Amino acid sequence: MTGNSYTCAQVPSVLRSIYRYHVQSMGWRDYGYNFTIDKCGNIYEGRAGGVTKAVLGAHTLGFNQNSMGVAVLGTYTTKKPSAKAVRAIAKLTAWKLGLFNRNPRGTTHLVSGGGNKYKKGVNVKLRVISGHRDGFATECPGQRLYSKLSSVRSTAARLQGR
């Protein structure tokens, strides 16, 4: 989405530019992700509709139903994400999954709506906390962030008291 050199004070303008891209360039009705996290660990509401509700996002083609999309600003192919960002992912997912009594360490089955990795109608077993690449053929969220998802699952579960 963006490089890693942004300052936390610049995040609101970065989010506005992503919103413009999603709505004006892509033709979507809103920002694609349900939430966005910056490297300072700040959590931002994305798609409108209410943070406690199951708002349909536009984050992983084929798996937007029954899921939540979290964007972490930056590129994490070679640079590791900040500890603050990783902690914020764990806090957010613990809270949001808790609203629906979902275990962050668990798995789920979702039916693909069709995308570049799974054909429409395919029943796919995914982790409750998965990376973009698990449902869509992409490098996102970058290997350095993707490798942190195991600790995110553990921390989120611990925050839920599991």
SS (H, E, C) 97-148: HHHCCCCCCCEEEEECCCCCCCCCCCEEEEECCCCHHHHCCCCCCCHHHHCC
- Domains, the chain: 8-159 (3.40.80.10)
pLDDT in tens, 92-137: 999 999 999 999 999 999 999 999 999 999 999 999 999 999 999 9
Tell me how far CA of residue 139 lies from CA of 10, 58, 136, 146, in angstroms.
Answer: 25, 17, 9, 9
pLDDT in tens, 48-68: 999 999 999 999 989 998 899
Retrieve residue 98's tokens: 């808790």
Mutual orientation of helices 149-159 and 83-99 as an angle, nearest 10°? 50
The per-residue DSSP string of 10-48 comes to GHHHHHHHHHHIIIIIS--SS-S-SEEE-TT--EEE-SS
